[in-house]
Chain A
Amino acid sequence: SQQGEEDPQALSIQEGENATMNCSYKTSINNLQWYRQNSGRGLVHLILIRSNEREKHSGRLRVTLDTSKKSSSLLITASRAADTASYFCATDAGIQGAQKLVFGQGTRLTINP
C-alpha cells in the first residue's frame, strides 16, 4: 500500500510559471526523496531531504519538509516544457540502511508552451 498521498494528482501550467506539488505521509521517516518519471520510463532521482532538515535547494528545485505535519512540498521554479513528467515522493521509513522506499501516487505535471 502507498505511504501517503500527493496533491494535486494532476497539474497543468504555462511555461515559465512555478509548479508546487505536495506530499503527505503517515509514519516517522529517515528521509524523503523526490523522483521524476517521464512517460513509460524509469525514475530519475531529484532531491533527498533528511528528517532533521527543513528545506533544500537544487537548481530550480526547492523542497521543504515539515515532520510535525508529515508533509513535504516540491517547488519547481521557472518551469520548462521538459519538466513535463510525473513526480513522486518516496519515504524511507524503515530500519536505517534498509531503505525500502514507499512511494506516493504521484503528480502528473504538464507544462504548456
Chain B
Amino acid sequence: DTGVSQNPRHKITKRGQNVTFRCDPISEHNRLYWYRQTLGQGPEFLTYFQNEAQLEKSRLLSDRFSAERPKGSFSTLEIQRTEQGDSAMYLCASRPDGWGFYTDTQYFGPGTRLTVL
C-alpha cells in the first residue's frame, strides 16, 4: 500500500501523559499536513511542512504540541501533558509540490484516534 500511513491507529492515555503519533506520507510528496478533527466537526488545520521545514502553525497548536519532520520524510506530532480536550482524531495528509490537479489534491491517512481519560 503506497498511501499515507499513520501509527498508532488508536491511543488511549491518561491526562498528563505525553503521546507521540507518526505519519508516513506518500514517498514522493514534499508537503505534509496535520489536522485535528473532533466528533461531529470537520478537520481543522494544525501545521504543515515543506520537506523538513515547518512553514506554518495554527493558533490551535499550543506550546504543548510539537511537530517534526527531521529528514523530510515521516513526521511526528507530540502532545505533552495531555488534557481531556485533546481527545480527537489526528489526521495527516500529504501532496506533491507545485500546482495542478494532482499536486493540489491532499491525500489523507486513516488518522490516529486519541482518547485522554
Report yes or no: B42 in contact with A42, Cβ–Cβ below 8 A: no
Question: If A42-B108, A42-B110, A92-B104 touch, does A99 touch B31 (CB 8 Å cutoff)?
Answer: yes
Name the contact of B105 in the complex, choosing from A33, A41, A102 (C-beta under 8 A). Answer: A33
- Looking at chain A, what size class is its interface with the partner chain? 20 to 34
B interface size (C-beta, 8 A): 30
Question: If A98-B48, A99-B31 touch, does A104 touch B42 (CB 8 Å cutoff)?
Answer: yes
Say if the beta carbon of A45 comes within 8 Å of chain B.
Answer: yes
Report yes or no: B42 in contact with A45, Cβ–Cβ below 8 A: no
Report yes or no: A42 in contact with B109, Cβ–Cβ below 8 A: yes
Q: Chain B contacts of A35 at CB under 8 A?
A: 108
Report yes or no: A41 in contact with B111, Cβ–Cβ below 8 A: yes
Q: Chain A contacts of B55 at CB under 8 A?
A: 98
Q: Chain A contacts of B99 at CB under 8 A?
A: 96-97
Say if the beta carbon of A105 comes within 8 Å of chain B.
Answer: yes
Name the contact of A99 in the complex, choosing from B35, B91, B101, B104 (C-beta under 8 A). Answer: B104
